Amino acid sequence: MFGNWLKTSILMAGIVALFGVVGGAIGGQQGMLIALLLGGGMNLWAYWFSDKAVLKMYNARQVDASTSPYLYNMVRELAQRANLPMPKVYIIDEAQPNAFATGRNPDHAAVAATTGIMRMLSERELRGVMAHELAHVKNRDILISTISATVAGAISSLAQFGMFFGGRDGENRPNPIVSIIIMIMAPIAGMLIQMAISRTREFGADRGGAEISGDPEALASALAKIEAYAKGIPMHAAEAHPETAQMMIMNPLSGGGLRGLFSTHPSTQERIAKLRAMR
């Protein structure tokens, strides 16, 4: 728990520093001051509202015991087994099988599953997946993953801000400093996520999920199915917001440079082997 708070604090400090550097390059001392204030404000906003922003990106709809008793009651039973408060439950209308957890702490958590994963997996397998997401909640992985997702998008917005306000010099020629800043924004966003989120958290959530559900083979089987089908079914919301890919139980990106840049998932085969060794 302390390790995750430390990583979150380092990430937030890095964001403020990055905003300050970019602001200084664009507008000198005054630009740096404005950017530092924006960076601090961004951190506060991300802490309180980043989970809602991510759910909105995916057009997730909240469900309850009356609108989706199958998923809601499954999550409730698993949350009780994990000694966790009942999280909010959401469904995402996407054909790709996937799921994620979000929120700032176990008292303000949410889990989301796609319609594709609910159709594709057996009840036992889906139970393993939702237990994995609840393990992220219990391990307090969700704050840093949610903040990093929204902040990465903010960095891209900052680059666009630089292009708009400082993209050209007094003779209307491209400003080389701003051009360089814009070129490195996406890699920096990816590196921040890579540094902030260790791939080992997925192994920890796999183990924790297997312990919560009491069925490591169910999660192993679910992971094999998700990987087999997810690659051939694009997830449009994830492609539009690749910085959120690290939140999913399986990398949802179809390919290309962004897949590698934002990839924070270990090998599925290795995850399955570790789960089966628990039996």
Q: Is 136 labeled as ligand-binding?
A: yes
CA-to-CA dists, residue 267 to 197, 248, 251, angstroms? 16, 14, 10
Q: How large is the greatest C-alpha to C-alpha distance in the chain, in angstroms?
A: 69
**Nearest to 147, CA basis, from 52, 266, 262, 260:** 52
**Nearest to 90, CA basis, from 107, 115, 108:** 115
Q: Is 202 labeled as ligand-binding?
A: yes
Options 94, 123, 125, 133, the catalytic residue? 133
Terminal-residue alpha carbon distance, the chain: 27
**Is 239 annotated as catalytic?**
no
Taking the CA of residue 235 as centre, how many other CA atoms within 13 Å lie in the half-sphere pointing to its CB?
31
Neighbours of 2 (CB within 10 A): 7
Q: Is 265 labeled as ligand-binding?
A: no
Measured distance CA(66)–CA(112) in Å, rounded: 17
Q: Binding site residues, as ranges?
A: 132, 136, 202
Q: Binding site residues for Zn(2+), as ranges?
A: 132, 136, 202
Residues serving a catalytic function are: 133
